[in-house]
Structure 1
Amino acid sequence: MITDPQQIDRIIDCFGFLRRKDPTFKRHFFQAASVVHLNKPQSICHEGMSCTHLALLISGTARVYKLGENGREITLYRIGRGESCILTASCIISNTPFPAIAVCEEALEAVLIPTAEAQNWMSRFPAWQEYLFGLISERLAEIITVVEEIAFRRVDHRLAAYLLKRAESNGSRAIKVTHQEIASDLGTSREVISRILKDFESRQMISANRGCIDLLDTRILSDQL
């Protein structure tokens, strides 16, 4: 149960569905909810586990990924402030095990809703139903994009787009990221990423140092798309 008024206000500010004029739903929500704090790189959920709670992030970042038999990772999506996990929501609705791995990527704070309540509210409160279905619809489109990228787009083109997007979101041409992290996000091997980055560097598009990549010429890099 969450009773602190300031904490309740923070949570309502994060999640639009709580701003609806439905005092009954709000009462049930905060009676069932609890708050958890996790630090990097704590595990959130392993593949095959039962989903006992749905986590709604107040702050921080979680990463959801698949791990292949060869040990290679592919990032499906990340979850940030005001968001939740599509796969957990889907598992709760369908009573199926979690099909991926979720880890804390940046120290996070989240609201936990027990599975029984999350299921019960689907038939009782339209705001909750719309939130979960909207979440699934939005994230499903992202996952389809990931599959299309892997299947149909060259890795060097995907890497160029990845670097430009990271620079734009960071507001800086200096990107703090390792070759392995990029490989995991793009679903390829570290060796492939290192080879392409070396080619980019030889063409003076980037400058690569340990744990950091500086974009030197975004125009030429954009031509790779």
Structure 2
Amino acid sequence: MTNTLLQQKFNQILDDNLLNEIFQTGTFKEYKKDDIIIDIDQDLKFIPLLLSGNIKILREDNQGNEMLLYFLEAGDTCTMSLTCCLKTSKSNIRAVAESDSLLILIPVEKIQDWFRNNESWRNFILESYQIRFNEMLETIDTLAFMKMDERVFKYLIDKVKLNASETLVIKHQNIAEDLNTSRVVISRILKQLENEGKIKLNRNKIDVLQF
């Protein structure tokens, strides 16, 4: 099953020889929803390839407040963790399972060898860097130019696309934590969005009606 998932998610990206080596040298690991996969200040000995599920990548300020940077989907890797591995520095992000997830963890000593010697891996990593960089720019633009109600609605639309479902099982407090604001503010904005006919609120659930 694990090898099948690896092939399904990466066979269009990585060559067969590399996939076989990843299967032989990587460690498959399952995480439950809300499990911390990578924590801030953690020494990283691996980078993750996501086979199933979703992961959110967070930053934390000096007061312990978190800010959502971007989501990872199946077929992605976290290039920020790769940077820390290559620099042998501690993690500056937190990776949390957004849903039950299966990953294969690649040991750091393999990463540089493959980057030098395998074109498919090199292209995959460079493309991943570009995608994450674009997502970071989008996050900065959202913070700089969007009002909070626009940020909340964009967040909900992104979650709909990520989960392939118009019904989101989520608490107001979870949204507040991801967007680094208060639950009271989020509850007020969600009620406003409901009055505008964009969403429908239920207990711990939100139906997104427009996206």
TM-score normalized by structure 1?
0.81
Which residue is 2:116 aligned to? 123
Aligned pairs (5 A) from 1:1-225: 7-15=2-10, 16-18=12-14, 20=15, 23=17, 25-167=18-160, 173-203=166-196, 205-215=198-208, 218=210
- Counterpart contact for 1:150–1:186, Cα < 8 Å: no
Q: Which runs of 4+ in 1 moved over 6 A?
A: none
Q: Distance in 1 between matches of 2:131 and 2:208?
A: 31
Q: Deviations over 1:2-61 (max 9, x none)?
A: xxxx5434312211333x3x63x3443333122111112221111111211111111112
Q: How far apart are 1:111 and its partner, in Å?
A: 1.1
CA RMSD of aligned residues (A): 2.4
Q: Which has the larger radius of gyration?
A: 1
Q: Deviations over 1:166-224 (max 9, x none)?
A: 446656554322112222333322221112223334555544232122346x4xxx8xx
Q: Secondary structure at the match of 1:150?
A: helix
Q: Deviations over 1:114-173 (max 9, x none)?
A: 001112211111111111111111111101111110122110122233334444665655
Q: Distance in 1 between matches of 2:186 and 2:99?
A: 23
Q: How far apart are 1:105 and its partner, in Å?
A: 2.1
- Counterpart contact for 1:166–1:175, Cα < 8 Å: yes
Q: Distance in 2 between matches of 1:146 and 1:131?
A: 22
Q: How many residues align?
A: 210
Q: CA 1:164–1:88 in structure 2 vs 1: closer, same or farther (change >3 Å)? A: closer
Q: How far apart are 1:75 and its partner, in Å?
A: 1.0
TM-score normalized by structure 2?
0.86
The one-letter amino acid of 2:8's match is D
Q: Distance in 2 between matches of 1:116 and 1:142?
A: 28
- Counterpart contact for 2:28–2:104, Cα < 8 Å: yes
The one-letter amino acid of 2:3's match is I
Which consecutive residues of structure 2, in runs of 5 or more, have no partner in the other structure?
Answer: none
Q: Distance in 2 between matches of 1:68 and 1:110?
A: 27
Q: Secondary structure at the match of 1:17?
A: coil
Which consecutive residues of structure 1, in runs of 5 or more, have no partner in the other structure?
Answer: 1-5
Identity %: 29
- Counterpart contact for 1:72–1:189, Cα < 8 Å: no
